[in-house]
Structure 1
Amino acid sequence: MLALHTERLYFRTMVESDWPLFLRLHSEPQTMQFVFGEIAEEQIRKGFDHRLPAWTPQSDHWLCLVVVDKASEQALGVSGFRILSPGHAEVGTLLLPEFQGKGFGTESRIAIIDYAAAIGLESLESTVTDGNIASCKVLEKCGFVFDRRVPQAYQIGDQWFDDLIYQRRLT
């Protein structure tokens, strides 16, 4: 089982008993406001089940790690990546609202970047919904640079949003 550590956090592979965390993350309006519109529980469950099998760099699903506060042992959210093409992956992090704005997003993203580099990935990308200023700032703190805007790429409710694509070279 994969385990990563930072000063304040540790990361472990997501398991079946993490379903309540995953459901809450994907049901919280504050967490999802720039990610998805409302998602039915059965769709959330499908995404959860897809991430449960053991992950390898050849997997077609996300490496999904639970982010845990070392001091309290409380799960804060999930972080990970999925391989898009050889040497290139998309990274993402979702934190519960009460843990946003405390530096956990930056700390967890750095841990994921370090792991991606350690397994030989060459570059990472992250997609941010336009308007999600906090996520853009986290990416920039972690060395990502804005690459391109994809106009009206995603609809949340009745509104269309641009996607902002950020890139980071690891080699």
Structure 2
Amino acid sequence: MNFEMASERLLFTKLDASDWELFRSIYTNPALLQHIQAPRSEEEIRNQFEKELTPWSPASSHWLTWTIREQASHQHVGVMGICSRDGEQPTAEVGFILLDTSAGKGYATEGLKQVIKFATDTFGFEKFTALCSEEHTASRNVLEKAGMTLDEILPENSEINGQLINDCFYSMMVGEK
């Protein structure tokens, strides 16, 4: 199956072996990960990368990850993905990490809307969920601009670098955008 797609300004390509340096640079960057997870070893990052390279279907337990580039310059923007989740309706969790150089350009919102449309049209997902830390206001704004609604804030639900953080759970039913 062809997982490539495009939005107005962005190109999306399924993660492949040539994307290792981009993937490694994102998952070893403390600034990009400060609200997401503690840094991991290169071996752990490599294992995650290899898992995400394997074939994907809605029955998969791993993420379908796209690399994102600007259409005009072909410069990397970041990564975005979906992961199937159990639920009453076909459900996918969405996630994204954009490079610092791509912040503030509306790419995350544009990309998230495109991924949701693709996942709905291609795989029939009816519900989308997302999780982010309460302090990560930029990600929260993206989720809301893309049409997601804050469902719940769980205090001290996760730990990043020894600190307990509040988690925000977002969702969206297709058609409620």
One-letter identity of the residue aligned with 1:89: A
Aligned CA RMSD, in angstroms, stands at 1.1
TM-score, length basis structure 2: 0.93
Given candidates 112, 117, 121, the residue that maps to 1:114 is 117
Unaligned runs of at least 5 residues, structure 1:
none
Q: How many residues align?
A: 171
Q: Give the aligned partner of residue 95 of structure 2.
A: 92
Residue 120 of structure 2 aligns to which amino acid in structure 1? A
Quote how far apart the aligned CAs of 1:90 are: 0.5
Which structure 1 residue ranges, 4+ long, deviate > 2 Å from structure 2? none
Report whether the alignment pairs 1:163 with 2:167. yes
Stretches of structure 2 lacking an aligned partner (at least 5 in a row) = none
* Structure 1 residue 106: Cα displacement: 0.5
For residues 151 and 39 of structure 1, what CA distance do their matches in structure 2 show?
24
Q: CA deviation at 1:151?
A: 2.1
- 1:152 aligned residue: 156
Q: Specify the code of the residue in structure 2 equivalent to 1:73.
A: H
Confirm or deny that 1:27 pairs with 2:28.
Answer: yes
Alpha-carbon deviations, 1:47-96, whole Å to 9, x = none? 11110012111111111011111111112111110001250110001111
CA distance in 2 between partners of 1:57 and 1:169 (Å) = 17
The TM-score, its normalising length taken from structure 1, stands at 0.96
One-letter identity of the residue aligned with 2:17: E
Displacement of 1:9: 0.4
Q: Structure 1 residue 44 and structure 2 residue 45: aligned?
A: yes
What is the distance in 1 between the residues matched to 2:102 and 2:30?
14
Partners of 1:41 and 1:100 in 2: CA distance: 25
Provide the identity percentage: 33
User: In structure 2, what is the equivalent of residue 79 of structure 1?
Assistant: 80
